[in-house]
Structure 1
Amino acid sequence: MGKKSTNEMSFLDHLEDLRWHLIRITVAVLVCATVAFIFSGFIFEHIIFAPKRMDFPTYKWLCQASQFLGINDTTFCATEFPFKIQSRQMAGQFSADIWTSIYSGFVIAFPYVIYQFWSFISPGLHINERRHSRGFIIITSFLFFVGVLFGYYVVSPLSINFLANYSVSIEVSNEFDLSSWVSTIRSSCLASGFVFELPIIIYFLTKIGLVTPQIMKKYRKFALVLVLILSAIITPPDLASQIIVAIPILILYQVSIYISKVVIRNQNKKQKAHV
């Protein structure tokens, strides 16, 4: 039997359809997580622990920028960080390896996750809406990966540099737990990845009538405050880091206003065409 059309499907049919999409997503993430677990040595050595070394690209760029501005006494130009990473729990390293593999699997499988999500909601859209949204998976995945890279190369090193060099007394030495280190890298990357999905979120909110360009412009000042608060949450509490993180978010907000305008304009054209 062929698959029922959206109009013929009952609520239970929709739940059954959703269940199979979730099963496919879970299997894809687990497969990618297994691959990540096999290459976990490479992931930890060249990705997770890379921001711990001063030859990390971000530190080099910031060191050069500081020297260009005449700031020679900066932690970005140090030879090494004054801390060690330790595992204080019996299963600490194993747990870190497993969870890192799972989150890595999710990041790797993200385009397929979005594809499954889109496959579930697209039957409820009009033919024209499906045609105009063919690039949804590509654009969503692109924004997510750009956000993850931004979190890895900007948010993570700024946070690590600040927190690693912060000291209340010379009597206290920094010995970070492995789980705390991995959590810092993971949260920075995933939070930035989801923040960069703002244009996609605004697109759908505009489609269903909850957001308009006028509303976004009216509350731009409040959005600026929220962006600064968000920047303060995901970055260390120094002004320079917050500004560096806030700039791309503000650009995304402005792009979202333009996207909202395009959606409204297309909707108005359709209404005029049917009159």
Structure 2
Amino acid sequence: MAEGLKKFEKWLHDSVFKPLEDKKMPVMEHLVELQVRLTRAVIATGIVFVVTFFYADTLVQWLRIPLQNMFVPGSLTWVPTDLPTVPFVFLAPAEALWQNVKVAGLFAVVLATPYILWEIWQFVVPGLHVHERRFVGPFVLLSTVAFYAGVLFSFFFVLPFALNFLISYGVNAGFIPQLSIAQYVGFALWFLMVFGVIFEVPLAITLMAKLGWVDAPFLKRYRKWAFLGAFLVAAILTPTPDPFNQCIMALPMYFFYEVGIVSAGVFGKKRPVSDAQAGAGVPAAGAKPVAPVPNPVMAAEGEYVGVPSSGRRR
């Protein structure tokens, strides 16, 4: 099994990674290649945008689901809440059209992200060493999956909980709920994007630990500052000033910081053996110093060293 795995790694190195070595292209050729790949990414995103704009109304209707429904993980269904029907209004002539463009554009970028990352990978990979490719490739893939997981987590769990609390608070205070389509779409999209980024925190910490910038003991020492920083960042990123949404955003952020500490301890850059053995010659506290063994060859000046006799003196 181990021999077969070594053969597969050798084949992967010789057949896949080795041919991608940098051909030492001139700077202008690199710029031309970058322009071509960016153009491809923009064209692909534009094509996806045409499709998503055609279904923009449906996408907006999907964004409205967390407003008056709660997701039940056990049955994988949406259950209506006790909130009254919340009508949507628009306050400017082009507001509804602009929100459809915004929603379609964001979904187009999200759906085209794998192809955009592929073009970036094809541009960057010739300048990387083999061991760097083995690390960067899985890292990019995992970061994409983590971003999608954060978006889905926000859509199914965070948004329904936050919206139900906020709308219920206004209704119980005696206000009639009417939402601007621009305000609601901006609120929902902002939550989706921010939680997608929050799910990247463990991977970012792991990358810094892999590069040797931080380690697990360093991160543990700054736990309290990370907790405070999570609430400060959440206060800046939260679209509403209420502490409820701030806690909803800050607590997962700090939780992923703790996950990053564990990941840094497992995948972090290991200290060299020489550093670990540097203190081996230092005596422990309270230990008695060991007297040096006299060397007959290297003696101090003026000290007579007799030659060992082969026989016994009489």
Q: Tell whether the 8 Å contact from 2:70 to 2:161 is kept in structure 1 after alignment.
A: no
1:204 and 2:207 are equivalent in the alignment:
yes
1:221 aligns with 2:224: yes
Measure how far apart 1:264 and its partner are. 3.2
Query: Letter of the aligned partner of 1:123 in structure 2?
Result: P
Q: What is the rounded CA distance, in whole Å, between the counterparts of 1:122 and 1:80 in structure 2?
A: 54
Q: Per-residue CA shift, 1:162-212, capped at 9, x if unaligned?
A: 332344996854422111111011000011111211123223333444333
Equivalents in 2 of 1:230, 1:41: separation in Å?
33
> How many angstroms apart in 2 are the aligned matches of 1:244 and 1:38?
34
User: Which residue pairs with 1:234 in the alignment?
Assistant: 238
Q: State whether residues 155 and 234 of structure 1, in contact with CA within 8 Å, keep that contact through their aligned partners in structure 2.
A: no
Amino acid of the structure 2 residue aligned with 1:56: M
Aligned to 1:37: 53
Q: Does 1:256 align with 2:260?
A: yes
* Counterpart residue type for residue 46 of structure 2: L
Which residue of 2 is the match for residue 104 of structure 1? Answer: 107
Comparing 99-108 with 16-25, which one deviates more in the overlay?
Answer: 16-25
Give the Cα separation in 2 of the matches to 1:174 and 1:162: 13
Deviation at 1:246, TM superposition (A): 4.0
Give the match's secondary structure for 1:49. helix
For 1:71, the equivalent position in structure 2 comes to none
- TM (norm. structure 2) is 0.67
The CA deviation string for residues 99-120 of structure 1, in whole angstroms up to 9 with x for no partner, is 1100011111222223233333
| Alpha carbons 2:212, 2:268 under 8 Å: kept | no
Once the two structures are aligned, what percentage of the paired residues are identical?
24
The answer on whether the counterparts of 1:115 and 1:137 sit within 8 Å (CA) in structure 2 is no
CA distance in 1, matches of 2:218, 2:32: 38
Larger Rg computed on CA atoms = 2
Q: Deviations over 1:66-90 (max 9, x none)?
A: xxxxxxxxxx952425x42101211
The 3 A distance-change label for structure 1 pair 235 and 41 is closer
Q: Of 17, 27, 42, which residue of structure 1 is paired with 2:33?
A: 17
1:121-158 per-position Cα deviation (integer Å, ceiling 9, x unaligned):
33332202212443234311210011101222233223
Note closer, same or farther for the CA distance 1:184–1:222 as it changes in structure 2 (3 Å cut). same
Q: Which amino acid aligns with 2:110?
A: V
Q: In 1, distance between residues paired with 2:226 and 2:34?
A: 34
Secondary structure of the equivalent of 2:84? Answer: coil
**How far 1:36 sits from its partner (Å)?**
1.1
Alignment partner, residue 57 of structure 1: 71
Q: Which amino acid aligns with 2:65?
A: A
Q: In 2 relative to 1, CA 117–200 (structure 1 residues): closer, same or farther, beyond 3 Å?
A: farther
Aligned to 2:311: none
Question: Residue in 1 aligned with 2:146?
Answer: 143
User: Residues 145-224 of structure 1: matches in 2 within 5 Å?
Assistant: 145-167=148-170, 173-224=176-227
Secondary structure (helix, strand or coil) at the match of 1:223 reads: helix
Amino acid at match of 2:184: W
Q: Hey, what does 2:131 align to over in structure 1? A: 128
**Cα distance, 1:212–1:17 mapped onto 2, change above 3 Å:** farther
Report SS of the residue matched to 1:135. Answer: helix
Q: Structure 1 residues 134, 212: CA separation in 2 closer, same or farther (over 3 Å shift)?
A: same
**Which range moved further: 127-136 or 12-21?**
12-21
Cα shift at 1:52: 2.5
Aligned residues: 251
Q: What is the letter of the counterpart of residue 59 of structure 2?
A: I
RMSD over equivalenced CA pairs, Å: 3.5
* Gapped regions of structure 2 (runs ≥ 5): 1-18, 277-314
User: For structure 1, which segment, 36-45 or 154-163, has the greater mean C-alpha deviation from structure 2 after superposition?
Assistant: 154-163
For structure 1, the 5+ residue unaligned runs are 62-75
Q: Which structure: greater helix fraction? A: 1
Partners of 1:168 and 1:264 in 2: how far apart?
50
Which TM-score applies when normalising by structure 1? 0.75
Query: Which deviates more from structure 2 when the two are superposed, residues 93-102 or residues 199-208?
Result: 199-208
